[in-house]
Copies of this chain bind each other. A is one copy, B any other.
Amino acid sequence: MQKSWVLTLKCVDGPGIVHAVSGALVAAGGNIEESQQFASLDTGSFFMRIEVTAVAQPETFEARFKECLMPVVNRYSMQWSLTESGHKLRTLLLASKATHCVNDLLYRQRNEQLPIDVPLVLSNHTVASDLAAFYGVPFEHIPVVDQESKQRFEDRILEVVEEHDIELVVLARYMQILSPALCEKLAGRAINIHHSFLPGFKGANPYRQAHARGVKLIGATAHFVTTDLDEGPIIEQDVVRVDHASSPEKLQQIGQDREAQTLRRAVGWFAENRVLLDGNRTVIFQ
């Protein structure tokens, strides 16, 4: 299997960017395998993701490419990242009682269907403990009952992020609101999942409300965590058809399946550097 790398970048839009980047690639002896670009009319930003291989000497390509790229990066004040393809994203999972999302992510990790490496499941309940053991992933339980224990949980998150060089924190049905301070520290690298309906339902037990209204579709939304609860940039959404015969309990079961799938897709795209932030929106390069 030939080595390849993914370059993503973001800068103020303007003529000549693609030309400059491709010039750096040519100079480094690389070749474009796949390329996507997007210019946002909303923010005036330009986004690019290219997958590249080395024409020769792959072992030194990454260093060569960075060297050639640096002047371009500086000229356009680019935010950028260069990652070898197949890199396993170091991912921390946060869990509470519902285990469907944790289960799906660990299952996909084990079957190599998701390029993630989960060093720890951190939970405010013990329910997911067995599951983590089953998949051979360390599990840690910190109950959250008051402000102090909540702070302890959040401190532990930051410790683990540091310790394990965590690149993504996934709230896999972790049912606690993160503090604004933590949201800011994890900005752009924490993903949450929640159910979604058309129309939306406020308040407790949305599945019961959705049933009462007789909705025909129920869905899920995966988004970045921000201080605005459930209002962060959307990464992925999906729905599934239901009918009049579904009880609220059945709706919830169907909805949870969809949550697991939607979260899995969002995590997979993030791991492959396909998710870029454009203000309060995301650019997804599929």
Contacts and interface: CB of A to CB of B under 8 A. Distances in A.
A281 B219 contact: no
Nearest to A48: B35
Contacts of A34: 37-38, 245
A183 interface: no
A27 to B, nearest CB: 9
B30 A39 contact: no
Contact of A221 (B198, B219, B233, B235): B198
Contact of A41 (B25, B219, B221, B247): B247
A216 interface: yes
* Size range of the chain A interface in the assembly: 35 or more
Interface in A232-246: 233-239, 243-245
A239 B278 CA distance: 24
B221 A237 contact: no
Interface stretch (A15-23, A58-66, A137-145, A154-162): A15-23
B35 A15 contact: no
Interface centre among A32, A40, A200, A219, by most chain B C-beta atoms within 10 angstroms, is A32
How many of these chains are in the complex? 4
Majority SS of interface residues in chain A?
mixed
28 contacts: A14-B31, A15-B29, A16-B22, A18-B22, A34-B37, A34-B38, A34-B245, A35-B36, A40-B244, A196-B198, A197-B198, A198-B200, A198-B237, A198-B239, A200-B200, A211-B281, A212-B280, A213-B234, A213-B280, A214-B233, A214-B280, A216-B234, A216-B284, A217-B219, A217-B237, A219-B239, A243-B284, A244-B283
Interface of A: 14-16, 18-19, 22-23, 25-26, 29-42, 55, 103, 107, 111, 196-200, 211-217, 219, 221, 230-231, 233-239, 243-245, 247, 278, 280-284
